Amino acid sequence: MADEAQTTAPAASPPAVSPIKSELDRIRAAHAGAITDVEEQPSRGMFWIAVRPQSIVSVARLLRDDPALDYKMLTDLTCVDRPETEKRFNVTYNFYSLSRNRRLFLRVRAAEGEPVPSLAGVFASADWAEREVYDLFGVVFEGHPDLRRIELPDDWDGHPLRKDYPIVGKRPVILYNNVKEII
């Protein structure tokens, strides 16, 4: 009996599937051609999935509704301006799964004047965040229920977080003592 225990090798456990591979496979299976690029930082456990603009709504719904993914929260939506590239705006969505304690970042690249579909109908938290990106970068979110400026006055010229926005402004600033000063 003791000899038998020594000669029987323990069953090898199957190799662990990396979370990114599992999530990528689910997205690819449901939406072929939606993913354009994947950037990973394994040391930090983070990765970014670039998605075609026309696929962002369906991929976001999959992330929210698929029980194996379970990303019920859009915690943030932001943008980076890279004017040296053809698709200068990188709109980044930060999703969080409470049940799995995991983050996932989706990225949509958009050219100047190219609209990005709104996620406001999928995640209520996208409403104000999309308005902020519109206000500060000028990215238009197609299908947004109320796309208008949120931080700057309606008559403000330009979008101040674009890298081509002038450093010295041209707007009057109203000071506390009601004296106008041009900056």
| Tens digits of residue pLDDT in 159-182 | 999 988 877 655 555 555 555 554
d(CA 37, CA 53): 13
Pure H helices in 66-148: 126-137
Tokens describing residue 33: 């051609």
d(CA 84, CA 98): 37
| Tens digits of residue pLDDT in 7-59 | 555 565 555 556 678 889 999 999 999 999 998 877 777 789 999 999 999 99
C-alpha dist (Å) from residue 66 to 1, 28, 71, 117, 122: 48, 13, 8, 21, 14
Nearest to 130 by CA among 119, 121, 122: 119
Task: State the CATH class of domain 18-151.
Answer: alpha beta
Check residue 67 and give left, alpha or beta (phi > 0: left; psi -120 to 50: alpha).
alpha
**Residue that wins the pLDDT comparison between 42 and 6:** 42
pTM as predicted: 0.80
Residue type, 127: D
| Tens digits of residue pLDDT in 60-90 | 999 999 999 999 999 999 999 999 999 999 9
Nearest to 162 by CA among 130, 133, 129, 127: 133
Residue with tokens 């670039």: 50
Nearest to 34 by CA among 102, 136, 127, 108: 108
Q: How do the domains of the chain map onto residue ranges?
A: 18-151
| Tens digits of residue pLDDT in 78-129 | 999 999 999 999 999 999 999 999 899 999 999 999 999 999 999 999 999 9
